[in-house]
Amino acid sequence: MEAMLAGLFALALSAAALLAVRLKLLKRSIRQASAELAEIAERIEGNRTARLPQPCAELEELLDAVNRVLEAEQERRAACARQEDRLKSQVESLSHDLRTPLTAMVGYLALMDGESLDDEARASLATVRRKTAALQRLVAQFYELSQARSADARLEIGEVDVCRAVREAISERHRLLSDRGLDVRVDLPAHPLFALADPSALERVLENLLGNAGAYAKGSFEASAFEREDGRVVVELANDADELSEGELERLFEPFFTADAARGNESSGLGLAIARSLSELMGASLDATAQNRGGAFWLRFELALEPARNRQG
């Protein structure tokens, strides 16, 4: 009897040991599958699926269901990417087809003699010229945005003195800012701040941000540059403006979004979208935040660029 009990006890111990090993292996498999799923989620466009290292019918069934969801999401993203590529191609073609007749229209309008017209006709001609020029800018911005968001877009990234770029951008647009009667304050270090950027793209980003300030600033504009604790080189541009809601602030970089559309502003809403796309191509970030200064609403843009060999000149 004792021998039988001993045998049963030994058998129970063996079964418990096997179950413990099995449970340990299953836990390890679940951890590995979870880690693999997390990696796939970060790079879902890679068309990978997860596998269970240790066989388990129930868990494999669950993982198969997860993989089907992953495959559906991967296909959806691929379809969206194809659709976006087709749309970009169509926008480029449309922009190209419109530029030639628009250029001709602008040329013919420039040749028209406004002095021979009466006041009403002259005013109408001025309106047509302005609207045609705005349409020409819009077509150019369409093309520029499609290029900036293209997967084939390539920039020449190198070492750029950000302080010099900001000074030149403000100098070139001094008339835009002064015509608005803005109080312009520039706070830049005397030594260069070198960052990794494409000179032409950086110039375009600054131009669009300054254009936004010139259009919407109420009375003041500030520009500064400095090196952040994490080493990134930051350009800050800020201006007082009409207050934006939280929803409007979040949509500032969306194409065609204009917070003051009801006031008939001729802005296309593409300038900030182009600025952000070019920033991302350079490995930089461009964000907007709101500030309250003495009861006044201020809009602040932060362009953070990867550092180069920052050194004093």
99-158 confidence digits (pLDDT tens): 777 778 778 777 777 677 777 887 888 888 888 877 777 777 667 776 666 656 677 889
Q: Are residues 184 and 258 in the same domain?
A: yes
Looking at residue 2, its amino acid is E
Its sign, for the CA torsion 281, 224, 161, 311, is: negative
- Do 120 and 183 have their domain in common? no
Q: Are residues 255 and 189 in the same domain?
A: yes
Tell me the per-residue pLDDT of 264-286, one tens digit each, with 9 for 90 and over.
455 567 889 889 988 988 889 99
Domain-ending residue, one of 153, 172, 200: 153
Same domain, 201 and 104: no
Amino acid occupying residue 65: A
Please report, rounded to a whole number, the percentage of residues in the chain having pLDDT higher than 90: 22
150-167 b/e with 16+ CB inside 10 Å = b?
beeeebebeebbbbebbe
Same domain, 65 and 109: yes
Do the Cβ atoms of 163 and 189 come closer than 8 Å?
Answer: yes
Boundary residue ending a domain (133, 153, 173): 153
**Do 300 and 197 share a structural domain?**
yes
Query: In this structure, are residues 299 and 239 in contact, taking their beta carbons and an 8 Å threshold?
Result: yes
155's CB contacts (< 8 A; 6+ apart) are 198, 201, 278, 281, 282
Mean of the pLDDT values across residues 156-168? Answer: 93
Cα 211 from Cα 208, distance rounded (Å): 5
Task: Compute the distance between CA of residue 145 and CA of residue 290 in angstroms, rounded to an integer.
Answer: 25
Domain range holding 298? Answer: 158-305
pLDDT in tens, 16-63: 666 666 666 666 766 776 676 666 666 665 556 666 665 666 666 666
Task: Pick the closest to residue 159 from 124, 104, 197 (CA basis).
Answer: 197
Query: Taking the model in full, what pTM does it have?
Result: 0.62
Q: Is the separation of the CB atoms in 125 and 111 below 8 Å?
A: no
Does 70 fall in a domain? yes
Structure tokens that stand for 191 in this block = 């030594």
145 and 6 part of one domain: yes
Domain membership flag for residue 269 = yes
Statement to judge: residues 3 and 142 lie in one domain:
yes
- CATH number for the domain spanning 299: value is 3.30.565.10
**Same structural domain, 35 and 127:** yes
Structural domain includes residue 91: yes
Query: In 111-121, which positions are buried (b, 16+ CB within 10 angstroms) versus exposed (e)?
Result: eeeeeeeeeee
Which of 112, 128, 153 marks a domain boundary?
Answer: 153
C-alpha to C-alpha distance for 286 and 276, rounded to whole angstroms? 6
Residue 194 is assigned to a structural domain of this protein: yes
Residues 163 and 295 in one domain: yes
H or E element in which residue 36 lies: helix 2-42
Q: How many whole angstroms separate alpha carbon 144 and alpha carbon 92?
A: 9
Neighbours of 276 (CB within 10 A): 24
What is the distance of C-alpha 5 from the center of its chain? 73
1 and 149 housed in the same domain: yes
Domain assignment present for 277: yes
More confident site: 67 or 279: 279
Q: Give, for 187, the enclosing helix (H) or strand (E).
A: strand 183-187
Q: How far apart are CA 82 and CA 91, in angstroms?
A: 14
**Assigned domain for 310 exists:** no
Same domain, 46 and 138: yes
Q: Say how many domains are in the chain.
A: 2
